[in-house]
Amino acid sequence: EPEVTQTPSHQVTQMGQEVILRCVPISNHLYFYWYRQILGQKVEFLVSFYNNEISEKSEIFDDQFSVERPDGSNFTLKIRSTKLEDSAMYFCASTPNWEIQYFGAGTRLSVL
Amino acid sequence: DQQVKQNSPSLSVQEGRISILNCDYTNSMFDYFLWYKKYPAEGPTFLISISSIKDKNEDGRFTVFLNKSAKHLSLHIVPSQPGDSAVYFCAASPTGANSKLTFGKGITLSVRP
């Protein structure tokens, strides 16, 4: 069964460093998303992406964040200068339409 | 900002009995609702959904009920099995392409053998 894959599963970085979280959405899907879950809190929407551009972004998604679909398969989230409060699980999701979103297993980002 | 609320943080039921997980929402623009199940160290896995034009949707042991006037939905699992033990998230979105999901905090379900 097709699935969304995310790498790495765990990323440890120093505060102020740049990180890139990678996702391979399901191949025939058109809409892509990033969400995050800080420990003990809700899953929160970050950004949605369609047709090679951002469709919507949340207040969390400030100038330190960017997304890219560099080729036909990868979808990346970049955090330019990480802060301690960026420590969270980051989930990528994709969907062929507006209905069911399918999630990856997540990347745990630890900022030290 | 609690547009989707799951007020009970946990639920424990006996194997074979019914599990009822509740969810309330406040945003009238929501008209598509989903339940996701999540095991530790995994991402949310889609379980079942319902559109606001329906009041019930059933898939095997799982049934979701929607009461639009009360802005309330519930997930029924019958019969409950130990493998159902997980965190269950309620999520909602407005209809339309590219709509973001708004999640509740989740309910931890424990099914006792």
pLDDT at A38: 94
pLDDT at B56: 97
Q: What is the DSSP letter of B41?
A: T
pLDDT at A97: 80
For residue B103, list chain A residues with Cβ-Cβ distance below 8 A. Answer: 42-44
Confidence check: pLDDT of A71 > 90: no
Q: Which regions of chain B are under pLDDT 70? A: 1, 96-98
Q: Which of B2, B14, B82, B4 is CA-nearest to residue B36? A: B4
Residue B72, by phi and psi: left (phi above 0), alpha (psi -120 to 50) or beta? beta
Q: How confident is the model at residue A40 (pLDDT cuts 50, 70, 90)?
A: confident
**What would the two tokens of residue A14 be?**
């120093």
Confidence check: pLDDT of A6 > 70: yes
For residue B42, list chain A residues with Cβ-Cβ distance below 8 A. Answer: 105-106
The mean of the pLDDT values for chain A is: 93
Q: Where are the alpha helices (DSSP H) in chain B?
A: none
> What burial class does residue A72 get, using C-beta atoms within 10 Å of its C-beta: 0-12 exposed, 13-18 middle, 19+ buried?
exposed
pLDDT at A88: 97
Burial B2-34 (b: 16+ CB within 10 A, else e): eebbbeeeebebeeeeebbbbbbbeeeebbbbb
Please tell me which of the candidates A4, A31, A101 has its beta carbon nearest to residue B97.
Answer: A31
pLDDT at B98: 64
For residue A55, list chain B residues with Cβ-Cβ distance below 8 A. Answer: 98
